Structure 1
Amino acid sequence: MRSTHQVSGFAFAVLGAVCFSFKAIFVKLAYRYGVDAETLLALRMGYALPFFIAMGFSISYREPRALSRRDLLMLLVLGVTGYYLASYLDFLGLRYITAALERLILFIYPTLVVILSAVFLGKRIARAMLAPMLLCYIGIGLAVSHDLDLSHAGSNVALGCLLVFGSTLSYATYLMLSGEEVKTLGATRVAALATSVACVLSLLQFVLMRPLASLAQPWQVHALALAMALLSTVLPIWLIAVAMRRIGASATSMIGTLGPVLTILFGWVFLGESLGAIQLFGAGLVITGVVLIGRMKD
């Protein structure tokens, strides 16, 4: 029984990594139909919101706990940093860079958590961390150089990298701040409630920035936004939560290192993105650095 429990945990972790890896692919495919970032984000979050509300109610029913004023404030902050701002900057950045490069930049978030924790929480950065962190940034540099070589609009690639780096920084801030809330409320409840906040903010942003007529998009855009909401937002959050309960956070995070490789592969298959040796070598450095950091933190 225990073996079956663990096997299913590994399967959920792998499937969660696959689902997350498709997000950038869905975004890039939707952009081919001329939709803007604000509308696409609103569609994604609008389709996902009912599921997160249901998830939040389900958890609250099974594990009732009153939310304090501090909890509500922190969930608002976490929703802004972890899901709203991180998602919006990511969508903007994907206008200019490949899905593969986007995923690699997002994947360096553990290095930013270490740096932010040192700056704001006074946690010392161990010397052993420096080499893996350097590996990550050398790998990103190689991947960026690969995209710059293929692009005649280097400034656009640089802008896209900056926007996605901002997304990564926002998500790292969320992780740094969420520790206490996760201990108190549980990871799934925090994710469901914080994401619900982000969904509402994304819809408000759309109302303020775009006319309602912008929702009249081709059916393909709605289909991709729905797929993004279900397959790359709601489902993987649930899958990863279950995997962590069954095989632990360390094993789940190690399986998550499949993400960049899968996105590079999916970008090549579905978007026709180039697959170069320098890019793959850079991806290998980033993954190695993140794995080493993960082991040291454990």
Structure 2
Amino acid sequence: MMTGNDSAITDNTFSNNRFIRNGLLIAVLAAFLFSTKPILIKFLYQLGMEPVPLMWLRMMLATPVYLVVAVFAWKRSQQTLAVRDIAAAAAIGLLGYYLASYLDLLALQHISAQFERVVLYAYPTFVVLLGALFFNQPLSGKILLPLVITYAGLLLMYSQELSSSQSGDNPLSGSLLVLASALAFAGYILLSKTVIQKTGSLLFTSIAMTSAAIATAVHHQIQQPLALPQYDSQVWGLLILLALFATVLPSFLTSEAIKRIGPARASMTGILGPVITSILAIVFLGEALSLTGLAGMAMVIWGVALLAR
């Protein structure tokens, strides 16, 4: 016979399991939305857009949402923020959301969406290496095997990229650009940890994104005067999807997933990213995936999973 205490324990267990399950579903949805970004960018390139205007319009559409969230987070903050912390968040945002994004957009002009997503997925390995080189973080011998597996997989993916490249593509330049993007984002991860602890994740992300938006606007102004371009409804529709559904929404979903299930469980769903992007690229962009590329992708996912564990 079940007692009142037993019933309460059962209810709590069911509630906790449902909370975790919902957190995992949120993390999976965030991974799916993030995975659509290179597909949308490729479509916009096919419609004649250039990297800097694309990046500017994406940030212009996304920034108002982040500003609203920043005001909300600021009002809810229980501590007084120092000017140096706000300045640090803005500076780090330039690294992670301006420089890394710009290099990534340049890379997508020369390489496939699949290869871009796999290289970016491998950024935790760069976090480990940069942490050892510049932040005195210990480099354990246990991570050597995951690093070897990951980079061997990247080499296999690069060999497919060379064999499937078309006229006008430049796989070497694209690969170097996306590697530089991954390195910039790894630096962002390393530098942001301390500042996020002081500002909170919502306010930090909003400040960082706003800083990157301002930098992008200045970059665009240097190239050509800022003016709202006359694009057709198809281009604007893709830009709105890119800004809101492939940038803003998954960033907040990821924060919610981390709050519900923790960073370790949330990061595990990142394994789905390269797989989802590959499927979308094959279906919508007509990209090929050979057995060599598939093996390379599997090795990268395996290596990063080992490193995370």
- TM-score range (shorter-chain normalised) is over 0.9
CA spacing shift, 1:122–1:14, aligned 2, 3 Å: same
Where structure 2 has 5 or more consecutive residues not aligned to the other structure, the ranges are: 1-14
Quote the residue 1:133 is aligned against: 147
Quote the residue 2:100 is aligned against: 86
Quote the residue 2:68 is aligned against: 54
Quote the residue 2:9 is aligned against: none
Distance 1:104 1:144 in 2: 10
2:170 match: secondary structure: helix
| Residue identity opposite 1:202 in structure 2 | T
Instruction: Work out whether 1:18 is the aligned partner of 2:32.
Output: yes
Contact 2:86–2:207 (CA<8 Å) still a contact in 1?
no
Quote the residue 1:156 is aligned against: 170
Match of 1:241 among 255, 260, 284: 255
CA spacing shift, 1:214–1:164, aligned 2, 3 Å: farther
Instruction: Work out whether 1:189 is the aligned partner of 2:203.
Output: yes
Quote the residue 1:205 is aligned against: 219
Q: How far off is 1:242 after superposition?
A: 0.5
Instruction: Work out whether 1:96 is the aligned partner of 2:110.
Output: yes
1:190-211 CA deviation, whole Å, 9 max, x = no partner?
1121111111211221122124
Task: Calculate percent identity across the aligned residue pairs.
Answer: 37
Q: How far off is 1:153 after superposition?
A: 5.0
> Counterparts of 1:1-298 in structure 2 under 5 Å?
1-152=15-166, 156-212=170-226, 215-295=229-309
CA spacing shift, 1:153–1:131, aligned 2, 3 Å: farther
RMSD: 1.4
Contact 1:267–1:273 (CA<8 Å) still a contact in 2?
yes
1:243-288 CA deviation, whole Å, 9 max, x = no partner?
0111111000001111011111111111111121111110110011
CA spacing shift, 1:287–1:205, aligned 2, 3 Å: same
1:215 match: secondary structure: coil
Contact 1:43–1:222 (CA<8 Å) still a contact in 2?
no
TM-score, normalised to structure 2, is 0.92
1:88-146 CA deviation, whole Å, 9 max, x = no partner?
11001100000000001111111111111111111121011011011111111101100
| Residue identity opposite 2:112 in structure 1 | T
1:39-98 CA deviation, whole Å, 9 max, x = no partner?
000110000000011111111122243321220221122111111101111001100000
TM-score, normalised to structure 1, is 0.95
Which one is further off, 121-130 or 63-72? 63-72
1:169 match: secondary structure: helix
Where structure 1 has 5 or more consecutive residues not aligned to the other structure, the ranges are: none
Q: How far off is 1:237 after superposition?
A: 0.7
1:7-42 CA deviation, whole Å, 9 max, x = no partner?
210110000000000000010000011111000001
Distance 1:234 1:69 in 2: 25
| Residue identity opposite 1:28 in structure 2 | K
CA spacing shift, 1:154–1:104, aligned 2, 3 Å: farther
CA spacing shift, 1:163–1:242, aligned 2, 3 Å: same
Distance 2:202 2:80 in 1: 16
Distance 2:184 2:213 in 1: 16
The structure 1 segments of at least 4 consecutive aligned residues displaced by more than 3 Å after TM superposition are 152-155, 211-214
CA spacing shift, 1:154–1:32, aligned 2, 3 Å: closer
Quote the residue 2:12 is aligned against: none
Structure of greater Rg? 2
State the number of aligned residues: 295
Distance 1:148 1:154 in 2: 12
